[in-house]
Amino acid sequence: MSVPVDDGNCFACGPENPIGLHLHFDSNDDGVHARITLAPEFQGWRNIAHGGIAMSLLDEAMAHAAGHAGHRGVTASMNVRFRKPVPLGRELHVTGRVAWQRRNVLGMEAAVRDDSGTVLLDGEGKFVSMGPLEAVDDRRNPSSAKSR
């Protein structure tokens, strides 16, 4: 399998994707954090985010937490617990962190909370490291795109 390349079109975080979520993560000592308000086009039931969109938030938090730890990680598995409906039009807080690492497998944790801190959904996952996350921006380095 080739090394994943960031070309800016990721549905969850890609700035070039016109229909994406455009998540931006900040890092701290414990992992990563993002804030997002989901628009109506991400609806499942009335005023509630589609479950696949909600899971995408967790998956992206895990991926960015792996990156924060220095890995180009790809999802191997994920287990999600839906605790409360994820509302549209309200600010959400998305967090992710590396819980453990064994060789090239990373144990991940992520959660989505509302403004009061109530956990709406959380999950655990395993990511496989595809190698170190070099300090390059793939979108600006055409030679890295050749490794696809």
Q: Domain-by-domain residue ranges, the chain?
A: 26-135
Give the list of residues 6+ apart from residue 20 with CB closer than 8 angstroms, or none.
Answer: 9, 10, 11, 12, 13, 14
Residue 81 pLDDT > 70, yes or no? yes
Mean pLDDT for the chain overall: 88
Residue 91 pLDDT > 60, yes or no? yes
Residue 53 pLDDT > 60, yes or no? yes
Backbone angles phi, psi at 36, to 5 degrees: -155, 145
Secondary-structure class of domain 26-135 per CATH: alpha beta
Beta carbons of 110 and 94 less than 8 angstroms apart: yes
Distance, CA of 1 to CA of 87 (rounded, Å): 37
Distance, CA of 148 to CA of 78 (rounded, Å): 25
Determine what percent of the chain falls in helix, strand and coil, rounding each to the nearest 5: 20, 40, 40
Distance, CA of 113 to CA of 108 (rounded, Å): 17
- Residue 144 has a pLDDT of 39
Neighbours of 19 (CB within 10 A): 8
- Residue 64 has a pLDDT of 94
- Residue 140 has a pLDDT of 42
> Which residue intervals of 1-101 are DSSP H helices?
51-68
Residue 10 pLDDT > 90, yes or no? no
Confidence (pTM): 0.85
